[in-house]
Amino acid sequence: MRHRIHAAAIAHLLRPIGAGILAAATLTAPVQAQSDKMVPIPTPAQPGAITLDTGKLPGATAPEAWHSQYGSVFTRNVTVATLTPFLPDPAKATGAAVIVAPGGGFRTLSMENEGWDVARALAAKGVAAFVLKYRLNPTPADMPGFERSMAEIFGPGARPPRPRADAMAASLAPQIADARAAFALIRKRAGEWHVDADRIGMVGFSAGAMLTMATTLSGGDAKPAFIGNIYGPLTAVTVPADAPPMFVALASDDPFFANGGFGLIESWRTAKRPVEFHLFEQGGHGFGMYPKPTTSTGWFEEFARWMDMHGLLKRGG
């Protein structure tokens, strides 16, 4: 699936966030007293995962690896993209669908907290959910090497690289291709999965939110019907005339994106496109579906209410 990526649009998303952009979801704040130690684990069962047609990441040599951290499950060195359906009871199915893009700084993926748990919650609302395990930038195969590489790039005092806008756009090409393939597959099998092909949206977390925005702005035929940006960058962009309704959630103490302004919200409003923005007082970065003693934990129910307001929780709405 070949397409042109607009470097200017991607640059708008990435430029003002500063050196921490790619570390955004990788450095997820722990919930309560959960251990931040990364512990290798066997590859978990992923029943129903469907390999997408985007091929293997060029030049990748390290095998896919999994680890636990913060009481949750992560993967890295993803070289082949997959899509895992979480389908609602057909009696409850509304016809709406959401592609879920976990975060992880494009170096790892928070598969449980920002993927499977979100998809299960959507399915319980009657929404078909599809977790996108997209291809990632390579990291060292061994865990100590991975930890060192992360510390060197994103640790205290480090200065992560600042690629040129055109290089950054090119680096997102595999992920955007994976997202486009996911939309194409769901539309192809819409009848089988009881999905309305015109009501397929996308929600992403941190780096996954960046991918959601890039797919919306530069994803060609993907064309999400609605989108969710959960603690992603809020940089101003040029908004297409047909931009979809957008839901945004961010904590005001987010160490990465809380101080970059709210240009994305203003861009949508200026373009007179629907947007809802929740700025939680506390929650940090990476709260996802973790049960935290902050109001940020309520983001999912607010997102569900927003979907309902747009008729997405009503059968055929």
How much of the chain exceeds pLDDT 70, in percent?
83
* Residue 12 scores a pLDDT above 50: no
The pLDDT confidence band at residue 35, using thresholds 50, 70 and 90, is confident
How many other CB atoms are found less than 10 A from the CB of residue 131? 28
d(C-alpha 287, C-alpha 163), whole Å? 28
Using DSSP's 3-state secondary structure scheme, residue 255 falls into coil
Cα–Cα separations (whole angstroms), residue 7 to 164, 170, 225: 10, 8, 23
d(C-alpha 109, C-alpha 102), whole Å? 6
Q: What are phi and psi of 126, to 5 degrees?
A: 90, 10
Using DSSP's 3-state secondary structure scheme, residue 267 falls into helix
Lowest average pLDDT, out of 22-36, 102-116, 287-301, goes to 22-36
d(C-alpha 132, C-alpha 49), whole Å? 9
Residue 180: its pLDDT value, please? 97
Q: Is residue 39 packed enough to be buried (19+ CB in 10 Å), middle (13-18) or exposed (0-12)?
A: exposed
How many other CB atoms are found less than 10 A from the CB of residue 97? 29
The pLDDT confidence band at residue 154, using thresholds 50, 70 and 90, is low
State both tokens at 15. 């430029």
State both tokens at 237. 């962009």
* Residue 15 scores a pLDDT above 70: no
State both tokens at 203. 């929600």
> What strands, in cross-sheet order, belong to the sheet with 108-109?
39-41, 65-69, 72-76, 108-109
* Residue 130 scores a pLDDT above 90: yes
Q: Which residues are paired to 279 by β-bridges?
A: 250
Higher pLDDT, 67 or 31: 67
At a CB cut-off of 8 Å and minimum separation 6, what does 173 contact? 5
Q: Is residue 220 packed enough to be buried (19+ CB in 10 Å), middle (13-18) or exposed (0-12)?
A: middle
* Residue 25 scores a pLDDT above 50: no
* Residue 142 scores a pLDDT above 80: yes
Residue 2: its pLDDT value, please? 37
Q: What is the dihedral of CA 40, 43, 44, 47, to 10 degrees?
A: 160
pTM of the predicted structure, to 2 decimals: 0.89
